[in-house]
Structure 1
Amino acid sequence: MSAPETTAEGFHVKPVARDFDAIDRSTLKPPIKGPSALGTDFRRMIGLAWTMATAEFKLRFYGSVLGYFWQLARPMLLFGVLMVVFTVVVRLGNDVELYGPTLLLGIVLFTFLGDATGGAVSAMVDRENLVRKIDFPRMAVPVSVVILASFNLVLNLIPVLIFLLASGAEIRWTWLELPFLLLLLGVLCLAIAMILSALYVRFRDVRPIWEVVLQAMFYASGVLVPVQAIQAQFGDRIEQILMMNPFSAILQQARHAMIAPSHPSALACAHHWYVLLIPTAITLALLIGGFVYFNREAPRIAERL
């Protein structure tokens, strides 16, 4: 530290330290840590997520005359086109029992996967004003996206049930499996949503990459062609490979429980119970890894936006 300087008026001025080594670090306050992923109250996080999801659901159809029917139009239009292609042009679905409801159920479940994960990609960036100004558990954002997609899923399942009964299907006790399968699918979507929402804050290439991945998953998960039709042409090995995909395993079990017993269960397609440990392990790895990564990034999300 240099000696005090004397100005022309005779005042002594103490020079300011110009390097950090000269500053007493003991007087500096620790940096402020941003909000964590879950916060201090888990119920508050769930309440915030529910409020955000319900508010966005109401705003989505506000001022619309047809309202929910616009949400239903996308999967139904896709179903109509694919139904014509695979029953009239290609005639691949003619050998599958209740192919119409089978195809529609696959489209509805995949639409949920696409809405929950695709909407979560830019969820943090879209809510930048909220994230930067309000201290709240960051996990509420991806959870709210999955809850919002769940609202649409429940509504989209109504025409599936109507079309299924109109096609001659019987109500069976195995329908009770559907809520548990949807819960598993929701856990898978939340795991992916946590990773994508945190990654997109730093890397804006995540959106186009995930769009390509979703497109590939749509054709590679057995949504269009039921697994029994694929097995008849390519053998048992392809069934086992498909069941290693968490979404394919859930979809196949849902078709077995909801459509007809002629659709083999996920275990029957896997041939061995330990094959199903692979999609289970993938889901758990995504869930744990996604939470760890999101929890690490949560305190720094606001400053990176």
Structure 2
Amino acid sequence: MTFPKSVRLVEVGPRDGLQNEPEPIATATKLELIDRLAAAGVRYIEATSFVSPRWVPQMADHCEVMQNLSRRDGVTYAALAPNLRGLQAALTCGVEEIALFAAASETFSQKNINCSVAESLERFTPVLKRAQSAGVRVRGYVSCVLGCPYEGEIAPAKVAEVSKALHDMGCYEVSLGDTIGTGTPLKAKRMLEAVAREIPMDKLAAHFHDTYGQALANLYAVLEEGIAVVDSSVAGLGGCPYAKGASGNVASEDVVYMLNGLGIETGIDLEALAETGTWITRAIGRPNRSKVGVALNSR
């Protein structure tokens, strides 16, 4: 058993965590959240999403967020930009890195973005070309890697196929998303084994939701296999609008606590991170889904 010496945490709370909140959140609150996360030592923050405000009204202030960040040295402020129009807007607002997403499930792809998996990958080709010409790095997401709300089980070979396509197109890293949180440790290992036959392990990340309470166990399983990048959301904010009952991403505080216990470096101040989780959940009137955050806050 060999764990990585250090893990890079990709904090998705400001984007994935807030995007489905029904009440508008002030831009100043979003900016403060991002700054608090960076102050706690988080070095990669997904700040916003350049998608149509009609579909995701919460992210309508994407340009204001990107242009008013208190940028800190050594911190990457990324944004979701899943199509050419989104990328153009992101470039105008000074984005240095973007993410785009495909699904390992045909039905999920159709319901989510109204096209097949193959069509979604085709649409990404001009986005990647334009991003590369602008010197902007692109990170890829694959949804439903351990299960789909419509199709149920997803074959690891399908996950590997979609991941390889994103990698071959030029995504420097591919994040494997258990969108509905139904995965278990053995399934996670088998899925990762299939993907790692196609893509080097150091180009992969884990993005696990905690719907069934398995996210930490699943992360432990893939850390054993060599994963060294983990996506998480402060206070466990967020969910999936296409998966009923799907709770948020795994909480960043819980991940850091586990990594600390394994002697794996993150460079993150857990106390400051937990304070941030307490602050943002109070600010938006949401329960804190981080067990570690709640425990530290109640001392």
Q: TM-score, normalised by structure 1?
A: 0.23
| Bigger strand share | 2
Q: Which has the larger radius of gyration?
A: 1
Which has the larger share of helix?
A: 1
